[in-house]
Amino acid sequence: MKLTLRVWRQKNADAEGAMSTYQVDGISSDMSFLEMLDTLNEELILKGEDPVAFDHDCREGICGACSLVINGDAHGPERTTTCQLHMRSFRDGDTIDIEPWRASAFPVVKDLVVDRSAFDRIIQAGGYITAPTGAAPEAHATPVPKPDAELAFEHAECIGCGACVAACPNGAAMLFTSAKVNHLNVLPQGAPERETRVLDMVGQMDAEGFGGCTLAGECATACPKGIPLMSITSMNKEWLRATRKVARK
Ligand code: FES
């Protein structure tokens, strides 16, 4: 396949960015999107040019590091991570636009790399449980009803890639935050911090400058792990419950 790539190039956070056009040839339909970018970078390096900076780690769809807006869609045309997107989703002769996540809370570091540490700070605000030190407790010591375990697993699938923020017209982080809150709030192990968790994580999310949620639903559509939109309404319920409980004290 021969492709025209229009790639966002930006030297650093303070520099102005612009789209640069490149041609790549000999791309196999079996290559992943990141392997196609590797091919571009090898050519740029051989020509003595600066390779395109982009985030990646596991390349198996589990770490959430890869993050590209491809032809206007977070992670591109398939509902998967960028590293699991394959070139068979494109045609010979296509022009592909490649941009970083666009959100004020995710400032560009360089080219296609954005700073997603705002997510880390939301997790630090409440994404933990009180765990006594010592040996691991016996697995059946805390029974968890099956529906609750399944709900927790569903939310635990969030890999924190940020596609929800990139896809949201408001740049909101509600789907990510709700996945992290609900994952722990439905489990008995998460009960001691149930109220503080949701209040602190939502508070941190607001402090980071993410936009407000209007339930547009783009986040759930773009999420490569299928976190449902209902996750947000569940978190809102948790937040209201916690606010009332704190007000009564
Ligand atoms: S590189 Fe890990 S999810 Fe894509």
Tokens coding 221: 């559509």
Establish whether residue 59 lines the binding site of ligand 1, counting it when its CB lies within 6 angstroms of any ligand atom.
yes
Q: How far apart are CA 178 and CA 183, in angstroms?
A: 8
Residue 159 CA: nearest ligand 1 atom is 3
Euclidean distance between CA atoms 90 and 113, whole angstroms: 23
Structure tokens at 129: 């449980």
Contact 106, 52 (CB under 8 A): no
Low-confidence ranges of the chain (pLDDT < 50): none
| pLDDT value, residue 141 | 84
Mutate-to-test residue for ligand 1 from 56, 85, 225, highest number of ligand atoms within 8 A of CB? 56
Q: Which helix (H) or strand (E) holds 129?
A: none
pLDDT at 130: 84
Q: Which atom of ligand 1 is nearest to the CA of 161?
A: 3
| 109 alpha carbon – ligand 1 mean position (Å) | 18
Q: How far apart are CA 226 and CA 35, in angstroms?
A: 25
Instruction: Report the pLDDT value the prediction gives residue 191, as an integer from 0 to 100.
Output: 93
Does residue 61 have its Cβ closer than 6 Å to ligand 1? yes
Gap between the Cα atoms of 100 and 55, Å rounded: 10
In this structure, is the dihedral angle defined by the CA atoms of residues 125, 126, 127 and 129, taken in order, positive or negative? positive
How far does residue 240's CA lie from ligand 1's centre (Å)?
34
Distances (CA, A) of 89 to 68, 74, 95, 158, 237: 15, 15, 13, 24, 39
Q: What pLDDT is recorded for position 246?
A: 79
Q: Is 37 in the pocket of ligand 1 (CB under 6 A)?
A: no
Question: What type of residue sits at position 187?
Answer: L
Q: Which of 35, 37, 60 for a ligand 1 pocket mutation test, highest count of atoms within 8 Å of Cβ?
A: 60
Q: Is the CB of 67 under 6 A from ligand 1?
A: no
Decide whether any atom of ligand 1 lies within 6 Å of the 83 Cβ: yes
**Residue 76: CB within 6 Å of ligand 1?**
no
pTM of the model: 0.94
How much is the pLDDT for 142? 85
Strand arrangement of the beta sheet that strand 3-9 belongs to: 18-24, 3-9, 95-99, 69-70, 73-74
Site to probe by mutation for ligand 1, drawn from 54, 55, 62 as the one with most ligand atoms within 8 Å of Cβ, is 62
